[in-house]
Chain A
Amino acid sequence: MDRVIDVRGLTKRFAGRTVVDAVSIAVARGEILGFLGPNGSGKTTTIRMLCGLLRPDAGEGTCLGFDILHEAARIKREVGYMTQRFSLYEDLSIEENLDFVARVYAVPRRREAVEAALERLGLAARRRQLAGALSGGWKQRVALASCLLHAPKLLLLDEPTAGVDPGARRDFWAQIHALAAEGMTVLVSTHYMDEAERCHRLAYIAYGKLLVTGTAADVIAHSGLSTYVVGVAGGDERQLAALASALAQERGVTTVVPFGSTLHVSGTDAAALDGVRDRYAASGAQRWRRAEPSLDDVFVRLTQQAEDNYA
């Protein structure tokens, strides 16, 4: 069983509106797939179809070797699903939450498993604290621990780090990589580009359509974008903003993305973009430096394209 997730043509409609449109995803064992896309693009819906929480209107495939249409019950036993919304029981304590999950999944040697999870979390002393009283970062840690209690083979994590501080995010990613190294397969949706770069492979979805898949380097290489980093003398904010809106009007410029005190100016037609550079740089008020497009530049471009095509 090489491909832990292998689905083709997944489609979901809500009230006649196609929310996920013929999405095909393959994820190998031990791989971390980053699932990216703007809000409302169908990430959560796709994840729900993978673990049997929604029935696809079209499409087929397997998850952990089980048919997603007919063997949802088997898939559920071996998947750890962390929902987008924090969904432990806020009126149960940390320990009661873990114990409940362990019971429902019939975890062998339940008490020890819960105890070990509490120890690993460093929450053994706060076990009786209500889950609702935890801070964002701790909620996320407890939620992840509760997904892992039954030793799943596949983790589906829906925006697990939204609203979590950088320290907790770093710990979280260290843990994900450690799990993947032991053979865990992970599909994780995120909005953070730094997190996208930590994934083995990426899948980008917009308006329900899967636009690209591949490693970060592949995605950048196949984007066909050329990019300049543009700075203004003295780093004046107002000048930079004026420049950004002027550049956005230019033919040959597809995206202008502010990056600190610089702008990332990208275009699909390298010659046209160079023409723009020559005209603007002539004034001497700006520094134009050629650069690799970042993932962000690529995704902004992809979303624009999708908007033009489908929205």
Chain B
Amino acid sequence: MTPLQPFSWARFVAIARKELVQMRRDRLTFAMIVGVPILQLVLFGYAINADPKQLPTAVVDHDRTVFSRSLVQAVANTGYFRVVAVPAGEDAADRMLERGRAQFAIVVPPGFGRALQRGERPALLVAADATDPSATGNAIAALTTLGAAALRHDLSGPLAALAPPPGPFEVRLQRRYNPEGVTQHNIVPGLLGVILQMTMVMMTAFAVTRERERGTFENLLATPATPLEVMTGKIVPYIAVGFAQATIILAAAKLLFDVPMLGSGALLVACMTLFIAALLALGFTISTVARTQLQAMQMTFFFFLPSLLLSGFMFPFRGMPGWAQALGEVFPLTHFLRVVRGVLLKGNGAADTLPHLWPIALFMLAAAAVALLRYRRTLD
């Protein structure tokens, strides 16, 4: 009597091959693999890609000197600001901000010119509607470097001593409504995690429920294939899918959005593998619990929404109350976002990344354990 093998490579390969063929045949799945990343990148890209110029600006000039006029001219010359109104007072300017007629309100205080001449570094008040920070970020950056150039001309002769550094005046910025200025560089790497999460969990969640619905699961159970072989055979093909998606997203990040990629590619690939494995383990767990594909879909979304909201992708993580942060720490996406942003944007190395990896690994082990416990060898 031949011994029973606990894990047969041949059976694993058989199942993985079958999954790949089925995946290729299923147009909807295939469309999801390629279409979802592109669709999401384009959708989010509209909000991100824009480095908007000619933003409507209200200028309140209480000073009315040669200096204030030069300053306003220079502000307009940056290209980011378009002076749409010159209201008499701050109240009117605030109302314009409120109604969205202006993105910025620039207030030149009375005595600005005189104070400037005395070298008192007067303050220029800029109020920005930062609801959409990606729309205001660059404009604000342009404004802060403006001081030097704008007044060089007027600060000649005895006043030359007032020329930078430091700037001849101070820009006091109030970012309203969204304190943590999220930028495209923050969002696109985040999108990598979000897209992987959505497709990976959903596709594996369908892996077993589809067989159950179509009646092929009984045959699969009647074969000698063990739960571990079925699970790995159904998961591994999707790891390849995950990497295909990641490649699409990262290429787009580089080409379309010019996201910096400072850290090591190998490190990123290693972290991505772990993240994808955790998601697939979760998807497989769902598929052992759900009876139908509809249930699998519902459970996927039940997981997807809180993890999206609490991971720091949609809202700044540090802005959330303590309990929400604690809950957020459970989700692999939360940690993966930190990893990707760290590696891509800050050039973090393995040592900086490790603290974010073990929670993902823990999640994966827990999900895989539940899956193996839940996967029954019988139809009971």
Question: Chain A interface (Cβ within 8 Å of chain B)?
Answer: 48, 51-55, 72-74, 76-77, 79, 81, 83, 85-92, 96, 100-101, 103-106
Contact = CB atoms under 8 A, between A and B. Distances in A.
Contacts of A53: 218, 221-222, 378-379
A72 to B, nearest CB: 7
Contacts of B25: 91-92
Contacts of B22: 89, 91-92
B380 A55 contact: yes
Interface string B6-44: 001011011101100110011000000000000000000
A103 B308 CA distance: 40
Nearest to B1: A74
Contacts of A103: 10-11, 13-14, 17
A94 to B, nearest CB: 13
A72 B8 contact: no
Given A48-B379, A103-B13, A83 B224 contact: no
Interface in B359-380: 377-380
A54 B15 contact: no
Contact of A54 (B1, B13, B14, B379): B379
B4 interface: yes
A87 B219 contact: yes
A52 B226 CA distance: 13
A110 B26 CA distance: 27
B8 A83 contact: no
B286 interface: no
Contacts of A101: 223
Contacts of A105: 223-224
Main secondary structure of the interface of A (DSSP, over half): loop
Given A88-B216, A91-B26, A104 B14 contact: yes
7 contacts: A74-B1, A76-B222, A85-B218, A87-B214, A91-B22, A96-B21, A104-B225
Interface of B: 1, 4, 8, 10-11, 13-15, 17-18, 21-22, 25-26, 214-216, 218-219, 221-226, 377-380
A76 B224 contact: yes
A83 B215 contact: yes
Nearest to A97: B18
A73 B4 contact: yes
B218 A106 contact: no
Nearest to B220: A104
Contacts of A89: 18, 22, 214, 216
Contact of A106 (B8, B17, B216, B226): B8
Nearest to B14: A103
Given A48-B379, A96-B18, A106 B219 contact: no
A102 to B, nearest CB: 8
A105 B13 CA distance: 12
A181 B4 CA distance: 30
Nearest to B377: A72
B74 to A, nearest CB: 66
Given A53-B221, A74-B1, A92-B25, 4 more contacts: A52-B378, A54-B380, A77-B224, A92-B18
A73 B378 contact: no
Nearest to B4: A73
A81 B222 CA distance: 7
A92 B379 contact: no
Contacts of A55: 378, 380
A92 B13 CA distance: 16
A72 B221 CA distance: 11
B222 A79 contact: yes
Nearest to A73: B4
A237 B25 CA distance: 54
Contacts of A106: 8, 10-11
Nearest to A71: B4
Nearest to B216: A87
A143 B93 CA distance: 78
A235 B25 CA distance: 57
Contacts of A90: 214
B377 to A, nearest CB: 7
Contacts of B4: 73-74
Nearest to B223: A104
A114 to B, nearest CB: 12
A180 B321 CA distance: 72
Can you list the 3 inter-chain pairs with the closest CB atoms, starting with the nearest?
A103-B14, A85-B215, A87-B215
Contact of A104 (B1, B11, B218): B11
B163 to A, nearest CB: 74
Contacts of B226: 73
A105 B229 CA distance: 13
Contacts of A85: 215, 218
A247 to B, nearest CB: 43
A54 B18 contact: no
B379 A87 contact: no
Nearest to A48: B379
Contacts of A100: 14, 17-18
